C-alpha cells in the first residue's frame, strides 16, 4: 500500500463556496485522485491534512495553528512511510493581513516547507518521500464573504505559478500548475466548485502515478 499525504488548505478540504459545508471525500480532488489511481491498478491511500485558512509559514491573527510550518515535521513522522507528499498551499498567504506578501514570498514559504519535510526525523531506513508542489488556481475577483478577507489578493498573487515552478526546479520537486485544468469558483473567486475538484483530481492522477516511490 502506497501512502500519499496531501498537505493543504480549504481548496483541498473541499469547502463549498459561500458555505461552511464540505464536499464528500469522493467529490474532493484528493478522493477523486485516490479513486483514479486505484482504477489504474495502484494500491494507494490518500491521506488529507487540509486545514481551512492554512498559510505556508505565516500566522493568522484570528485563529491559531494556521502556520503550515507548525507541526509539519511531526506529521511526517505520523504518516510515514510515504510514497509522495503533495503540497498545495499559498492562497491564504494573500489574505488582507499579509499586505506585503507577493508571489516571491509565498514561493519562499513553500521552499521552507520542503526543507522541513526533508529534514523531518522519520524512522531510520524509511525512504525520503518525493514532493509534488501544486500551485493553486489563481484568485479571481474575490466576492461575497471572501471579498474583504482577500482584498487586493488577485494583484499580489500575480506570477505565483512561475515563482513556484522556479522553487520546484531548484529543490528538485515535481510541479503542477492547477490553473491549467481548474479555475476558482465564480461564486467567491477563491475556492473550487465540485466540477473543478473533479478536473484537478483527474489531471493529477497521471502526474502522481509517475511521481510515486516504487
201 SS3 class = helix
- Taking phi over 0 as left and psi of -120 to 50 as alpha, with beta for the rest, 51 belongs to beta
Place of cell 485522485: 33
Q: Which helix (H) or strand (E) holds 151?
A: none
Q: Given a cut of 80, is residue 142 above it in pLDDT? A: yes
48 SS3 class = strand
Signed CA dihedral, 153, 108, 130, 210: sign only: positive
Q: Which helix (H) or strand (E) holds 49?
A: strand 44-50
Q: Given a cut of 80, is residue 213 above it in pLDDT? A: no
Per-residue pLDDT reduced to its tens digit, 68-124 = 999 999 999 999 999 999 999 999 999 999 999 999 999 999 999 999 999 999 999
pTM for the full predicted model: 0.97
Q: Given a cut of 80, is residue 133 above it in pLDDT? A: yes
pLDDT value for 127:
86
Amino acid at each position: 500500500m502506497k501512502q500519499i499525504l496531501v498537505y493543504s488548505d480549504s481548496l483541498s478540504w473541499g469547502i463549498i463556496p459561500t458555505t461552511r459545508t464540505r464536499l464528500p471525500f469522493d467529490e474532493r480532488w484528493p478522493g477523486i485522485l485516490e479513486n483514479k489511481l486505484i482504477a489504474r491498478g495502484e494500491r494507494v491511500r490518500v491521506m488529507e491534512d487540509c486545514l481551512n485558512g492554512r498559510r505556508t509559514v505565516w500566522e493568522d491573527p484570528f485563529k491559531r495553528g494556521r502556520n503550515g510550518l507548525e507541526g509539519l515535521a511531526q506529521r511526517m513522522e505520523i504518516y510515514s512511510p510515504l510514497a509522495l507528499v503533495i503540497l498545495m498551499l499559498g492562497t491564504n498567504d494573500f489574505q488582507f493581513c499579509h499586505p506585503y506578501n507577493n508571489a516571491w514570498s509565498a514561493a519562499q514559504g513553500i521552499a521552507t516547507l520542503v526543507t522541513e519535510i526533508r529534514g523531518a526525523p522519520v524512522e531510520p531506513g524509511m525512504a525520503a518521500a518525493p514532493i509534488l508542489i501544486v500551485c493553486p488556481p489563481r484568485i479571481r475577483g474575490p466576492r461575497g464573504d471572501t471579498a474583504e478577507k482577500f482584498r487586493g489578493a488577485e494583484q499580489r498573487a500575480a506570477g505565483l505559478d512561475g515563482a513556484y515552478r522556479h522553487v520546484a526546479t531548484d529543490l528538485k520537486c515535481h510541479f503542477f500548475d492547477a490553473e491549467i485544468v481548474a479555475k476558482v469558483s465564480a461564486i467567491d473567486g477563491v475556492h473550487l466548485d465540485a466540477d473543478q475538484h473533479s478536473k484537478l483530481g483527474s489531471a493529477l492522477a497521471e502526474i502522481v502515478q509517475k511521481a510515486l516511490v516504487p
